[in-house]
Structure 1
Amino acid sequence: MKQFFRTLFGKISLIFLLLIFILGATEVFISVKSSVNYVCEASQKLNYSLARDLAHRFEPMLKDSLNYNAINSTIKELMVMNPKVDIYLVDKHGHLIAYFEKPEKIKRKMINIEPIRDFVKESSYGSLPIFGDDPLDKTRRKVFSAAPITIGKNEQGYLYVILASARYELAAEGIRGSYILKTSAIALSTILVFGAVVGMIFFFFVTKRLRQVTHTVRAFEQGDYSQRLPVTSDDEVSELAAAFNRMADTIQKNIRDMERNAILRRELIANISHDLRSPLSSIQGYIETVLMKDDRLSKDERKKFLETILKNVTNLSQLVQELFDLSKFDAKESKPNREPFSIADLTQDVVLKFQPIAEGLNIHLVTKLPVNLPFVYADIGMIERVLSNLIDNALRYTESGGKVTVRLERINADCVRISISDTGKGIPEKDLPYVFDRFYRVEKSRTRNSVEGSGLGLAIAKKIVEAHNSIIKVESKLNSGTVFYFDLKTYQKEKDKNPRLFVHRL
């Protein structure tokens, strides 16, 4: 039970029951109070002329002087005949003149005369009930009947009749109390039981969705990341469910990314270790050979060994430098130094640098450049590196006899598009989102064309393009080739005056 009231359903139910109890008790109190007022008003209206009718019995005893014995005897006789009433004779100020009670029972010798004056007015019937002081109690007020009466020759007084005598009250109190208590208990119990049943059912269905939220969140907390909440309406619970679903999707995506990053991190370490170990092992082997065969090596052999060592040192230095460059891009330390320059001239220079390598691989390397292409506004050194990395990547994965094309296009007045396409084997669609990851290889084999690379070229190219507020994209089809492309902002002071014409340069 204690655990039940700790739940939201239990707390709402308890509050509801308390409210029902308070409302029921209030209703019973108001009903009893209204019933009492109704009885008082009915009694006073029924006995409205009682004092006036009784006044005729007292008038002969009050003409010349007060005959107390006769007055008391008459009061006693009337009270015996009607035990519901208490009869008093009061003067115009409210002092008691005659009554049939023991003196010690009288708690006040003087009563408030104003209610009596209000009652004897002709218009008082519509203002009932009117309550007056009870001489037998210092605080109690009761309904009454009153009539003016002349005491002696000229003194004004009143016959004051309490309609619920002390004896009647004593007899009726127990009966009334038992009825009121019984009626109140039945009414309150009915309200509580009915309200509790209806309220519990209602709140059970209202909190059902909240319990479902709790169950789903707990399951999610315990590792079941597939848990989601149904969104069935537009209320606050549905908004909470939608927010949880979005949060769960984000968390699940982040977990997948973390798992993928962990795999990539392991592969990165393995690849770095391999790329460092291979040239180091080669350098070590050639140096040991030179040391062991120092006297027997010819001049040409020594030169060949040293050239191989230099090549491996150069590759190793390039790898370290590219790792260092990537770390600077990650830390936002490398920012482009923008300036206007001719992208056509830069592209031509980079292609000429790779032309001998392409010829050695029997690959046709061509450019397609428009005439009078506007200047672009970028970091010339960084863009040269992007072009070099993309052309190098295309040459390494294009077979002998294939073709690599470098194309520049004027997309609009603000952009120039640079694209590098090849006729290689292409990239599977499932691998396209990862081609810019460090050391990611579509073919896990590390045997490639004779042009060696560090495996970081595309990652560096992506970072450089993003630093220029652009995006590098890739499109590929298996056995049809691959194209990488990105856009650069033009230098706004330049005007494109001539129509676009394409020429082929070797």
Structure 2
Amino acid sequence: MAWATLSRRLSAVFAVLLLVCSGASVWLQMRSSGIHEQEVIQRLSLGLAAHIAENSELMKPGGLNQEAVKDLFDKLMAVNPSVEVYLLGMDGSIKAQAAPPGHLKRDRVGLEPVRKLLSGAPLPIAGDDPRSLTASKVFSAAPLRMDGREAGYVYVVLQGEDHDALVANVATDNVLRTTLWSMGLVALLGLLAGLAAFRLITRPLRELTAAVKRFETEGIDSLEGEAPTLERLSRGSDEIAQLGQAFAQMTRRIAEQWRELTLQDQQRRELFANISHDLRTPLTSLHGYLETLLLKAGTLSDEERQRYLEIALGQSRKVGRLAQEVFELARLEYGVVKPEKENFALADLVQDVFQKFELAAEARRQRLRPDIASGLPVVSADLGMIERVLANLLDNAIRHTPEGGEIVVQLRAENGGVAVQVSDTGPGIPGELQKALFMRPVFMSGSRTDSASSGGLGLVIVKRILQLHDSDIRLVQQADRGAVFRFQLGGAAGA
């Protein structure tokens, strides 16, 4: 819902808080004003009860002089209608009063506030209102003496019923109206200032929200257009700037991942195309020779038939090898195969792999030479997978090195593990093919290889196996060598 934006919710919360604070301020101001008024009235009238108590006509030898008391009460309340005068006994009971019939609600007044007032406690002090069962009001009090001893108290309520009625009638007078109008104006101005401040504060957040929405609707193409906005929002150190920095970093990461996914998708398409090409050539050749054998079975000599069968068998082997590589790569790519690491000496594994390729190297009059440093640490890796890595690299080196060449496997201790380098004396790999060397089958012409002996998926499998071992393989340049491949395996823990 459009109303539920952050800025509008903040504005609504701010408005409610402002109104609550304004109301609380008005209530506190009116209450403090009332307390101040009570203190002023009580302080001004503090000696009123004592002045009344000094009137000697209030008492006579038999007790109170009721006529003098009534006459005095009538005169005082005529002069100041807001006061109510009472004479109390020593126990707080009301002995004399001038309240209209039915208005008196108490027959006794608590003496604790009276004692506090007479002892000089801080003002204002409220005492019981005889004309109410619950109300308390400021008062003036003084002891009443007869024959030199205390006979009771003069108790004067300073804000009586007439005062309350007058306050109720003028509750909407100019002073109160002015106070309410001023508080309302302050609240309105504060609300407008707060709304403007919230709009300015949340402006970067709204821009960031708009950028996110454009990214949601327009996709990855909108990120480049939002770069200046994200850069501007990332400046500063507040929370919104940090959010902008996080979103800018996220968009860069998404853009990089998108480019990587696009590249991987392109590479995957090229991989399928290359595999199809690599399969089509031997299959076409295989089909052609088999068809020739079928059509010309009666006219071919034994030597021709034998040669055709050997060629067909060779093409069949190549198709089988490529199919096996595709299957193996698929298992590595989708996590079917997990490395089962163990500790072993890499030098011993190199010697074992050399033995498997001795006959192939001798057939091409090539020399396999190990260059193994002494004191190599034990490595931790999957023995079968690393054997496959070395076998693929040596197979490529033997097939791509001319007769009389040399293939060297070098082992050196490095960073707690073993660095492996496989090099040959072949023509090397052209620069235009090096970038995608470990991503797809390599097809090269010339002395290195031809379409019949392409690089296949061997190097792609090698890279994936080493990635599972938290390692990587790279092609390095050496002036006196052909293709030089280097990777490293970590040492065994505690070795």
Q: Is the Cα–Cα contact under 8 Å of residues 426 and 483 in structure 2 kept in the other structure?
A: yes
Cα distance in 1 between the residues matched to 2:391 and 2:360: 9
Q: In the alignment, residue 437 of structure 2 is paired with which amino acid? A: V
Q: Is the Cα–Cα contact under 8 Å of residues 66 and 152 in structure 1 kept in the other structure?
A: no
Q: In the alignment, residue 11 of structure 2 is paired with which amino acid? A: S
Q: In the alignment, residue 202 of structure 2 is paired with which amino acid? A: T
Deviations for 1:40-65, whole angstroms, at most 9, x for unmatched residues?
A: 11111211111222234453553445
- Cα pair distance change 1:301/1:40, threshold 3 Å: same
Cα distance in 1 between the residues matched to 2:418 and 2:472: 13
Residue of structure 1 in register with 2:123 after alignment: 128
* 2:208 is equivalent to residue 201 of structure 1: no
TM-score normalised to structure 2 length: 0.81
Q: Is the Cα–Cα contact under 8 Å of residues 88 and 94 in structure 2 kept in the other structure?
A: yes
Q: Is the Cα–Cα contact under 8 Å of residues 343 and 492 in structure 2 kept in the other structure?
A: no
Residue of structure 1 in register with 2:457 after alignment: 456
Counterpart of 1:36 (choices 34, 37, 59) is: 34
> What is the deviation of 1:469?
5.8
Cα distance in 2 between the residues matched to 1:379 and 1:14: 64
Instruction: Name the SS for the 1:232 alignment partner.
Output: coil
Q: Which has the larger displacement, 12-21 or 458-467?
A: 458-467
- Cα pair distance change 1:389/1:64, threshold 3 Å: closer
Cα distance in 2 between the residues matched to 1:407 and 1:169: 110
Counterpart of 2:133 (choices 133, 138, 152) is: 138
Q: Is the Cα–Cα contact under 8 Å of residues 142 and 154 in structure 2 kept in the other structure?
A: yes
> What is the deviation of 1:457?
2.0
Q: In the alignment, residue 47 of structure 1 is paired with which amino acid? A: S
Residue of structure 1 in register with 2:408 after alignment: 406
Instruction: Name the SS for the 2:46 alignment partner.
Output: coil
Q: In the alignment, residue 486 of structure 1 is paired with which amino acid? A: F
Cα distance in 1 between the residues matched to 2:359 and 2:373: 20
> What is the deviation of 1:463?
3.8
Residue of structure 2 in register with 1:296 after alignment: 299
Residue of structure 1 in register with 2:70 after alignment: 72
Q: In the alignment, residue 332 of structure 1 is paired with which amino acid? A: V
Instruction: Report 1:283-432 matches (<5 A).
Output: 283-330=286-333, 331-332=336-337, 340=345, 341=348, 343=350, 347=354, 350=357, 353-354=360-361, 356-357=363-364, 370=371, 386-387=389-390, 389-390=392-393, 393=396, 406=408, 408=410, 410-411=412-413, 415=418, 417-421=420-424, 424=427, 426-428=429-431, 432=434
Q: Is the Cα–Cα contact under 8 Å of residues 89 and 157 in structure 1 kept in the other structure?
A: yes
Q: Is the Cα–Cα contact under 8 Å of residues 339 and 385 in structure 2 kept in the other structure?
A: no
> What is the deviation of 1:436?
0.7
Cα distance in 2 between the residues matched to 1:32 and 1:276: 96
Cα distance in 2 between the residues matched to 1:371 and 1:101: 122
Counterpart of 1:186 (choices 181, 188, 203) is: 181
Cα distance in 2 between the residues matched to 1:379 and 1:137: 97
Instruction: Report 1:169-180 matches (<5 A).
Output: 169-179=164-174
Q: Is the Cα–Cα contact under 8 Å of residues 393 and 422 in structure 2 kept in the other structure?
A: no
Instruction: Name the SS for the 1:455 alignment partner.
Output: coil
Cα distance in 2 between the residues matched to 1:274 and 1:57: 131
Cα distance in 1 between the residues matched to 2:144 and 2:383: 124
- Cα pair distance change 1:112/1:491, threshold 3 Å: closer
* 2:240 is equivalent to residue 237 of structure 1: yes
- Cα pair distance change 1:217/1:450, threshold 3 Å: closer
Instruction: Name the SS for the 1:110 alignment partner.
Output: coil
- Cα pair distance change 1:36/1:216, threshold 3 Å: same
- Cα pair distance change 1:99/1:355, threshold 3 Å: same
- Cα pair distance change 1:349/1:408, threshold 3 Å: farther
Deviations for 1:149-174, whole angstroms, at most 9, x for unmatched residues?
A: 24699771222222223223323432
Q: In the alignment, residue 353 of structure 1 is paired with which amino acid? A: A
Q: Is the Cα–Cα contact under 8 Å of residues 137 and 157 in structure 2 kept in the other structure?
A: yes
Deviations for 1:409-459, whole angstroms, at most 9, x for unmatched residues?
A: 545595353231556474437x64431113255x699x9437613621211
Q: Which has the larger displacement, 267-276 or 329-338?
A: 329-338
Instruction: Name the SS for the 1:111 alignment partner.
Output: coil
> What is the deviation of 1:474?
0.9
Residue of structure 2 in register with 1:113 after alignment: 111
Cα distance in 2 between the residues matched to 1:310 and 1:486: 35
* 2:267 is equivalent to residue 264 of structure 1: yes
> What is the deviation of 1:75?
1.9
Q: Is the Cα–Cα contact under 8 Å of residues 411 and 417 in structure 1 kept in the other structure?
A: no
Q: In the alignment, residue 106 of structure 1 is paired with which amino acid? A: L
- Cα pair distance change 1:270/1:137, threshold 3 Å: same
- Cα pair distance change 1:78/1:290, threshold 3 Å: closer
Deviations for 1:54-84, whole angstroms, at most 9, x for unmatched residues?
A: 2344535534454433432232123222323
Identity of paired residues, percent? Answer: 32
Residue of structure 1 in register with 2:439 after alignment: 437
Cα distance in 1 between the residues matched to 2:367 and 2:324: 29
Residue of structure 1 in register with 2:11 after alignment: 13
Deviations for 1:316-361, whole angstroms, at most 9, x for unmatched residues?
A: 122122223333444225758875427468558747624654x7xx
Counterpart of 1:212 (choices 194, 199, 207) is: 207
Instruction: Name the SS for the 1:127 alignment partner.
Output: coil
> What is the deviation of 1:466?
4.7
- Aligned residues, how many? 478
Cα distance in 2 between the residues matched to 1:110 and 1:489: 99
TM-score normalised to structure 1 length: 0.79
What is the aligned-residue RMSD (CA, Å)?
Answer: 4.0
Deviations for 1:379-429, whole angstroms, at most 9, x for unmatched residues?
A: 88766654554455457778x899776352545595353231556474437
> What is the deviation of 1:491?
11
Deviations for 1:2-22, whole angstroms, at most 9, x for unmatched residues?
A: 833x11122222222222222
Residue of structure 2 in register with 1:278 after alignment: 281
> What is the deviation of 1:132?
2.1
Cα distance in 2 between the residues matched to 1:317 and 1:380: 24
Instruction: Report 1:480-499 matches (<5 A).
Output: 482-487=483-488
Q: Is the Cα–Cα contact under 8 Å of residues 282 and 319 in structure 2 kept in the other structure?
A: yes
Cα distance in 2 between the residues matched to 1:28 and 1:114: 32
* 2:147 is equivalent to residue 149 of structure 1: no
Cα distance in 1 between the residues matched to 2:90 and 2:287: 135
Instruction: Name the SS for the 2:124 alignment partner.
Output: coil
Cα distance in 2 between the residues matched to 1:434 and 1:259: 15
Q: In the alignment, residue 259 of structure 1 is paired with which amino acid? A: T
Residue of structure 1 in register with 2:2 after alignment: 3
